[in-house]
A and B are shown apart, each in its own frame.
Chain A
Amino acid sequence: MNTYNRVKQEFIKKWITTLHMFDSSVEHPTNVTERRNAIRLSSDIAIAATRTGSTVWSRALISRTRNKTTDKPVARRILRKARNRMKNRCTTLRRNGHFKAKIGVRKRTEMLKSLVPGGELIDDKDYLIRETLDYIVYLRAQVDVMRTVAAVDSVSGNLPNDRRNK
């Protein structure tokens, strides 16, 4: 349990940083869709950066986010900082084996590969399942934190700042 809570704490700290950076870079966007994109991208960057260590999904998530925010120099700075902490080589390793996959399992692994970021680069089924396991943990942390933030935020959105002393 402690690891999970620590993950959530790390995530929210990083998320605050990325949100601040996004906010300072962009002049007030009027569009809700833009805001939602910014929030989601910042959240994705934060959760990928929370995963210290080299996992395929975290690196793929960061590089995928990079393609969407190339016009924001601040976002690039965030991504560079997050990327420097991990080795950003995502290479494909082919397996020289002869395992026969059942058709149902094969189709589903293809689908799982499309869901997990960076999954298409993984050929080994064992490795894919490990990555999925890791990814689910962090994805769930992301959802939990966002849900809590949304719940608290909707209740106390306009309150003055004396709540900080609580």
Chain B
Amino acid sequence: MDLTQGFGDRSGGESVTGLVESLNFSDEIRQLVTMPPENTGSFTALLEMPATQAMELLHFTDTSCSQATGDIAPPTLHHPFGTLALPSDSLLMDRAGRFSVIASEQNGNISGDSNSSANVKTEPTETDSMAENHNRNNCSGKRKEREKKVKSSMKKSKSSEEAEKLPYVHVRARRGQATDNHSLAERARREKINARMKLLQELVPGCDKIQGTALVLDEIINHVQSLQRQVEMLSMRLAAVNPRIDFNLDSILASEVSFM
């Protein structure tokens, strides 16, 4: 009895501590593991809205707090008209300054029209627009918050009286003017991917010596496959040993906790 008890404890202890030591967790990985919950609050809130309104909100939150969407969100959202690229990266936010703002009071075109409301993109104060639009931008900046609040009602009832309260700011989006911005953004994105690949290399054992993205991905794929296969085999092993599903886990939990 004592022998088997000691053996069970030792094997449990060895496997737990030995595996824990061999994992070699770096601070970044731990940060990564705990970071997503903080940043996805606003992100998943965005996902529940249709694309157009989410786009407005995204741009608004980007200007107010650049960390809103966080790292885990992809950089751009698909716009139904296909002309807008939303900035979430700090480099891409320079592009926001290039968007021209056309105030709605000029053409008298209010967002009672459903198409125009879909085309709306609110704009921060710094733009290339003329000086006379600057005041209107400031007003619309205040109204942005009101817009956000009535967004749900806007979706359902696009009445003209609501539009008169909040004159929509129509934005004609231009693509990134110089290719420099574009390649800068591309380079930033590639660097991000490479940084993540390095983290993955640290996580997957035996990956440090490999150069090249494809081979590292190979190793990662092998690792994930082997882990999944291990889960299968272990569950088969547990099922074969025990006659019932609920095997004797309470005592195991007691011995497990004592090693952690």
- A residues contacting B by CB (< 8 A) are 1, 3-5, 8-9, 12-13, 15-16, 19-20, 22-23, 26, 28-29, 32, 35-36, 38-40, 42-44, 52-55, 87, 89, 91, 93-97, 99, 102, 104-105, 108-109, 111-112, 115-116, 123-127, 129-130, 132-137, 139-140, 142-157, 159, 161, 163-164, 166
Contacts and interface: CB of A to CB of B under 8 A. Distances in A.
Contacts of A111: 221
A155 B227 contact: no
A97 B78 contact: no
Contacts, number: 255
Contact of A133 (B85, B203, B257): B203
Contacts of A164: 250-251, 254
Query: Which 7 residue pairs are nearest across A and B when measured between Cβ atoms?
Result: A53-B37, A23-B246, A35-B239, A36-B239, A124-B74, A104-B214, A40-B235
B246 A20 contact: yes
Q: How large is the interface on B (under 10, 10 to 19, 20 to 34, 35 or more residues)?
A: 35 or more
Given A20-B246, A40-B235, A105-B213, A52 B37 contact: yes
Interface SS of chain A: helix
A19 B253 CA distance: 13
B44 A143 contact: no
B148 interface: no
5 contacts: A36-B236, A36-B238, A38-B245, A112-B221, A146-B235
